[in-house]
């Protein structure tokens, strides 16, 4: 096993770094439980009425709730980057979501919580979903963790044949070593790894929460002499949902069964800490990576993928008997980027020499009188972006179906083109009060502009992952993998085609032409790309929409009514400064665009659906309901 190891600093260099009056034990144990896709309204202490979460409710009663706690991204990889590095994922050039066919991952030069604590003599372990790179040098064992046990990305993905197989790897469901080495991949069939080797493929997902928990409890007892850092990022409750036999059918809803099993896991971890006799020197932090995908984000607005609060404001509890006041609630803004600098303070860690974005939130955690948020403004640039400051939540883009291009500067804005919500009076973000608070809008717009300018000027790179020579490519299951140019006369609805077979339209004007047939049409016609870049054509609420995502923060759209009845021909054209959309029975409609694609999408070209993360967060999730009789995408000068 290759493990990144640092020399332990002696003397006062790694002693307890604490302010006068602190009585925290030196080098406390740290456990971070990071659930996948758990919504604000999925836990009892936030009012859930479906799933029962007695162990989390107990944790809240014995610890401190954070009601305004934000994660660094509305989807997986960006959120994990922010938590572990204390840094906005955009600063580190990370994609919001990595896939088994991604080429880059978290740079090992970045300092993670595990790196920092390992340097100080902590035992470190990651048990669960990683999702920051599945090959060297991006695996957990290159990022400060002495051991790893888990699934390297989301459980709805597939395996990369480049991963090293353990000598005693267990193959299941009829899969053979020969199948895998030949490049056969299966959707929702993912590997279980220990350290840097695959030990089971495909993993039995019905057992995964239970097995993670058993590994975690074992680690706690083995390392109870401390200090230790346990990072427990659960695979559940991400789709596809699965539970062990003990939780199957408990509630009548699979999502609730899965939540209850995660709650059971929390109880087992807390009990292990108590049984090991280390409760007074162990900090446990519980939160989620983003909002609910299947469950509930109520009373917040929206869900996973959105920068409305339902996508990024998470159910959070911090537990440390004797240090964090029991049964208390914090309403000040804090964020996952604050965990690393806070642990540096509590554990005597050395902060990275390079810039990070988090701040010490220990005064909030311990409930100091007069403590306030360390963030005057908290900016989060996933998608179109948002700013939280005190009670205010600001969006420099308009609500609804109109153009989401953010306001360009601090001098020009209008109430019709931005959103402002009072999250105290209006937790569901239902009433836009931008028009009545122009001074707040101006201040937060200036913060948004300054944040973007600073991020753009100070980005750091990802790193290329290392693929063994001769390894089969990590093709998406069911994708057509030929690199020959697509034969548009043969493309079929329901198929995904390798991105390299799609036309290269980087920096080029291009046109999507299609013939659609059917009644009450709805859904995605074609999509090429995802949350980083790409384009999609879709039908929603009687309109056909052409969307172009130039980068993760820049989406342009144009829409026209879709005629009912017989076959309709649609032409969607992207030029340097505009999008143009027309049917054969209506006038052309144009909308402004900030430019053409800057890079070729890494995701497949999907026909009749969008296979992975949506190009446009406003597009329907459903596949196209009608027939696609013809389809072609080509540079405009290619005819």
**Per-residue model confidence as pLDDT tens digits over 104-113:** 999 999 999 9
What is the average per-residue pLDDT within 4-11?
33
Tokens of 555: 């989406």
Which H or E element spans position 231? strand 228-233
pLDDT value of position 551: 79
pLDDT value of position 614: 85
Q: Is the pLDDT of residue 7 over 80?
A: no
Q: Is the pLDDT of residue 404 over 90?
A: no
Q: Is the pLDDT of residue 543 over 90?
A: yes
- Contact between 543 and 561 under an 8 Å Cβ cutoff? The reply is yes
Catalytic pick among 88, 131, 375, 528: 131
Q: Is the pLDDT of residue 193 over 60?
A: yes
- Contact between 154 and 203 under an 8 Å Cβ cutoff? The reply is no
Per-residue pLDDT reduced to its tens digit, 119-153: 999 999 999 999 999 999 999 999 999 999 999 99
pLDDT value of position 479: 62
Higher pLDDT, 225 or 412: 225
Cα 337 from Cα 92, distance rounded (Å) = 13
Q: Is the pLDDT of residue 438 over 70?
A: yes
- Contact between 461 and 93 under an 8 Å Cβ cutoff? The reply is yes
Tokens 């806070």 correspond to 342
Q: Is the pLDDT of residue 409 over 60?
A: no
What is the average per-residue pLDDT within 457-484?
84
Q: Is the pLDDT of residue 20 over 80?
A: no
pLDDT value of position 467: 94
What residues have CB less than 8 Å from 280, skipping those under 6 apart?
25, 321, 322, 323
In the residue annotation, 131 being an active-site residue is answered as: yes
Query: Sign of the C-alpha dihedral, residues 423, 426, 429, 431?
Result: negative
Cα 221 from Cα 214, distance rounded (Å) = 11
Per-residue pLDDT reduced to its tens digit, 351-367: 999 999 999 999 999 99
pTM higher than the cut 0.85: no
pLDDT value of position 483: 58
pLDDT value of position 402: 36
pLDDT value of position 196: 97
Tokens of 233: 């990022």
Q: Is the pLDDT of residue 372 over 80?
A: yes
- Contact between 35 and 234 under an 8 Å Cβ cutoff? The reply is yes
Task: Count CA within 13 A, CB hemisphere, residue 594.
Answer: 15
Cα 342 from Cα 349, distance rounded (Å) = 9
What is the average per-residue pLDDT within 80-97?
96
- Contact between 85 and 112 under an 8 Å Cβ cutoff? The reply is yes
Query: Sign of the C-alpha dihedral, residues 488, 492, 496, 497?
Result: negative
Cα 553 from Cα 379, distance rounded (Å) = 13
Q: Is the pLDDT of residue 190 over 80?
A: yes
Cα 108 from Cα 192, distance rounded (Å) = 22
Cα 512 from Cα 615, distance rounded (Å) = 15
Tokens of 512: 């999507």
Beta bridge partners of 549: 534, 555
Q: Is the pLDDT of residue 530 over 90?
A: no
pLDDT value of position 612: 72
Cα 63 from Cα 57, distance rounded (Å) = 10
Cα 577 from Cα 592, distance rounded (Å) = 6
| Pairing state between β 164-171 and 197-201 | parallel
Query: Percent of the chain at pLDDT above 90?
Result: 80
- Contact between 142 and 2 under an 8 Å Cβ cutoff? The reply is yes
Residue 410: pLDDT band (50, 70, 90) is very low
| Pairing state between β 386-389 and 328-330 | unpaired
Catalytic pick among 55, 73, 76, 514: 76
pLDDT value of position 11: 31
In the residue annotation, 138 being an active-site residue is answered as: no
pLDDT value of position 91: 97
Query: Percent of the chain at pLDDT above 70?
Result: 93
What is the average per-residue pLDDT within 456-477?
92
Per-residue pLDDT reduced to its tens digit, 290-314: 999 999 999 999 999 999 999 999 9
Q: Is the pLDDT of residue 18 over 50?
A: no
Higher pLDDT, 625 or 603: 625
What is the average per-residue pLDDT within 19-37?
83
Compute how many other C-beta atoms are within 10 angstroms of the C-beta atom of residue 538: 27
Cα 474 from Cα 601, distance rounded (Å) = 16
pLDDT value of position 480: 53
CA-wise closest residue to 160 among 476, 531, 462: 476
Higher pLDDT, 449 or 403: 449
pLDDT value of position 498: 84
pLDDT averaged over every residue in the chain: 91
Residue 436: pLDDT band (50, 70, 90) is very high
Residue 98: pLDDT band (50, 70, 90) is very high
Q: Is the pLDDT of residue 286 over 80?
A: yes
Structural domains present in the chain: 11-21+28-155+211-366 (3.40.720.10), 379-457 (3.30.1120.10), 485-638 (2.60.120.200)
pLDDT value of position 412: 54
- Contact between 481 and 185 under an 8 Å Cβ cutoff? The reply is no
């Amino acid at each position: 096993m290759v493990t990144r190891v640092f020399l332990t600093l002696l003397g006062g260099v790694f002693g307890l770094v604490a302010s006068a009056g602190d009585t925290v034990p030196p080098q406390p144990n740290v456990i971070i439980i990071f659930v996948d896709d758990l919504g604000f309204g999925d836990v009892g202490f936030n009012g859930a009425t479906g799933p029962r979460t007695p162990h989390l409710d107990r944790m809240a009663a014995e610890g401190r709730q954070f009601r305004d706690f934000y994660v660094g991204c509305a989807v997986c990889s960006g959120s994990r980057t922010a938590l572990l590095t204390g840094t906005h994922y955009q600063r580190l050039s990370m994609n919001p979501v990595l896939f088994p066919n991604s080429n880059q991952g978290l740079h090992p030069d970045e300092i993670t919580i595990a790196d920092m604590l390992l340097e100080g003599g902590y035992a470190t372990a990651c048990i669960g979903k990683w999702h920051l790179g599945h090959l060297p040098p991006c695996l957990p064992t290159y990022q400060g963790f002495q051991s790893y046990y888990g699934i390297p990305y989301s459980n709805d993905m597939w395996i990369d044949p480049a991963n090293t197989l353990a000598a005693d790897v267990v193959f299941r469901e009829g899969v053979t070593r020969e199948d895998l080495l030949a490049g056969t991949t299966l959707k929702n069939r993912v590997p279980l790894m220990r350290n840097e080797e695959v030990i089971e493929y495909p993993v039995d997902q019905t057992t995964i929460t239970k097995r993670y928990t058993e590994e975690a409890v074992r680690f706690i007892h083995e390392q109870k002499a401390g200090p230790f850092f346990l990072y427990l990022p659960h695979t559940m409750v991400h789709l596809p949902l699965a539970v062990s036999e003990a939780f199957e059918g408990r509630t009548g809803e699979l999502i609730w069964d899965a939540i209850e099993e995660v709650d059971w896991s929390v109880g087992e971890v807390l009990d292990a800490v108590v049984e090991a006799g280390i409760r007074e020197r162990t900090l446990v932090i519980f939160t989620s990576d983003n909002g609910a995908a299947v469950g509930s984000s109520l009373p917040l607005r929206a869900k996973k993928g959105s920068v409305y609060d339902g996508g990024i404001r998470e159910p959070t509890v911090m537990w440390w008997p004797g240090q964090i006041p029991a049964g208390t609630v914090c309403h000040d803004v804090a964020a996952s980027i604050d965990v690393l600098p806070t642990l540096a303070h509590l554990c005597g860690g050395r902060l990275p020499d390079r810039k990070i974005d988090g701040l010490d939130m220990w005064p909030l955690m311990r409930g100091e009188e007069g403590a306030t948020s360390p963030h005057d403004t908290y900016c989060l640039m996933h998608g179109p972006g948002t700013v939280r400051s005190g009670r205010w939540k600001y969006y420099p883009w308009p609500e609804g179906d109109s153009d989401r291009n953010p306001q360009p500067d601090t001098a020009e804005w209008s109430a019709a083109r931005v959103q402002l919500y009072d999250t105290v009076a209006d937790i569901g973000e239902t009433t836009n009060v931008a028009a009545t608070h122009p001074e707040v809008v101006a201040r937060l717009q200036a913060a948004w502009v300054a944040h973007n300018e600073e991020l753009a000027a100070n980005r750091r790179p990802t790193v290329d992952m290392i693929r063994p020579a001769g390894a089969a490519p990590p093709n998406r299951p069911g994708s057509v993998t030929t690199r020959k140019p697509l034969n548009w006369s043969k493309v079929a609805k329901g198929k995904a085609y390798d991105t390299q077979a799609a036309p290269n339209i980087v920096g080029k004007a291009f046109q999507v032409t299609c013939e659609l047939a059917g009644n009450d049409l709805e859904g995605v016609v074609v999509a090429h790309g995802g949350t980083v870049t790409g384009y999609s054509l879709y039908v929603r609420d009687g309109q056909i929409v052409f969307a172009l995502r130039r980068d993760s923060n820049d989406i342009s759209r144009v829409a026209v009514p879709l005629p009912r009845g017989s076959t309709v021909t649609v032409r969607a054209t992207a030029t340097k400064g505009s999008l143009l959309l027309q049917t054969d029975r209506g006038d052309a409609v144009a909308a402004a665009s900030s430019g053409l694609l800057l890079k070729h999408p890494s995701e497949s070209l999907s026909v009749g659906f969008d296979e992975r993360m949506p190009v446009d967060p406003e597009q329907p999730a459903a596949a196209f309901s009608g027939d696609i009789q013809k389809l072609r995408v080509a540079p405009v000068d290619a005819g």
